[in-house]
Structure formats: structure tokens, C-alpha cells
Structure 1
Amino acid sequence: MLLAFSVAPSGQPATPVNGGSNPDASVHDAVAAAVKVVRESGLPNQTDSMFTTIEGEWDEVFDVVKRATEAVGRYGSRVSLVIKADIRPGYTGEITGKVERLEGALSAAE
């Protein structure tokens, strides 16, 4: 499974009382906390300006998304989460394979 997600805090910034460490934390700090969870998971992943994509089995991918969302939750009173998944049993290496096939098709079209 490939899963692309975007997670961001909203609402009032978290305070030390409700688990936050910096009441003036910006969104990039919250996103960095989520990406750190993803990278530490050991699953294949890529981050761009809009989404982080991870590859793995259903349960392991959603566990990472849950933990990343919880990490972002420390930065606001609400969390927005957007998910898009490509579920194709029996395939691995698609985080790079799909792009390689696209680049090959573009090269062939030139």
C-alpha cells in the first residue's frame, strides 16, 4: 500500500498545560514532528511540499499515520488529516516504481 497524507494543527496553539511545548509553534514545527515519526518508522517514505507518502502493509502504515497525527496534536486544539491510498496487494517498491514507469513513458514519448 502507498499512502499519502497531510496533517496539520488548527485551533488554539497547545499550551504546556495540555501537552504542548511551545504555545507559539508554527505549522512547520508540527509537520516536522509528524515527519520525524514517519522517518523513524523505517518504512519507505518521501515528503514533498504537500504530502508525505509511506509504503507498507495496512496496519503498519495506519499505525504510523496515527502516531504522526498524535505528534501534531501537541501543536493545536484540533488536527486536520487528509489521506489518499493506493492499495495494490502483492506489490512493493511502488513508492519509486510508479515514478520510474512515468519517467520512462515520458522519455519514450519524446
Structure 2
Amino acid sequence: MLIAFTLTPVGVGESFPDEIADAVAVIRECGLPYRSDSMYTMIEGEWDEVMDVVRRATEAVAARAPRVQLVLKADLWPGRPGLLDGKISTFEQHMADRGR
């Protein structure tokens, strides 16, 4: 399973590095493969373990903000490990095969 999610603290102003830093600490310590960019964090693992990380990261932000918005997208592909990098590799190979 691959989860992409983003957390937005609401009611703490326009900049919220401390709130997000707490969530990032939870993600970094989870032990699951993950990748973060400027919009989302993606985590790969089994349903319960991934959702536990999302819950704990959300709770970390909620401890500092009066409201939290969570956007979550999931790719459920049972028996298919390596989605975090595999989907990108497959696409890049497809593009190479097309000469692009």
C-alpha cells in the first residue's frame, strides 16, 4: 500500500514550521519507506502500520494547532511491494522505450 498525504495546521498563522516539524519527526522515526516533497509525503507499508503513522503525525500537528486539515490518497495494490520507487521506475522505462 502506498499513501500520499499532507497535513495543514489551521489557525496558527501563515507559517507553521514547528507544527510540521513535529509531524516529520513521527514520519522519520516510523521505519517505513517514505519520500517527502513540497506538497505531500508518501509512505509505503501495510494498512495498519501506514495509517498509524498518518494518525500519529496528525495528532502531533493537532497538539499545536486548533484545527488540522488532512488530505490522503491511497494506492492499494495487495502483494505488490516496492511501489514507492517501482511506479516511477516503470514509468521512466516506458518513456525510455518510447525514445523520450
User: Do both proteins adopt the same fold according to a TM-score greater than 0.5, normalized to the shorter chain?
Assistant: yes
Paired position in structure 2 for 1:37: 26
The aligned amino acid for 1:6 is T
Structure 1, unpaired ranges of 5+: 14-23
Paired position in structure 2 for 1:51: 40
Deviation string for 1:43-85 (max 9, x for gaps)?
0000011000000000000000000001111231000000000
What pairs up with 1:83-98 in 2 under 5 angstroms? 83-98=72-87
User: In structure 2, the residue corresponding to 1:83 is in which secondary structure?
Assistant: strand
Aligned residues: 99
User: In structure 2, the residue corresponding to 1:26 is in which secondary structure?
Assistant: coil
Distance 2:15 2:58 in 1: 16
The aligned amino acid for 1:34 is A
Larger radius of gyration: 1
Distance 1:82 1:25 in 2: 18
Mean Cα displacement is larger for which, 46-55 or 67-76?
67-76
RMSD over aligned Cα atoms: 1.5
Distance 1:33 1:107 in 2: 40
Paired position in structure 2 for 1:6: 6
Give the TM-score normalised by the residue count of structure 2: 0.91
User: In structure 1, the residue corresponding to 2:5 is in which secondary structure?
Assistant: strand
2:65 aligned to 34, 56, 76, which one?
A: 76
Structure 2, unpaired ranges of 5+: none
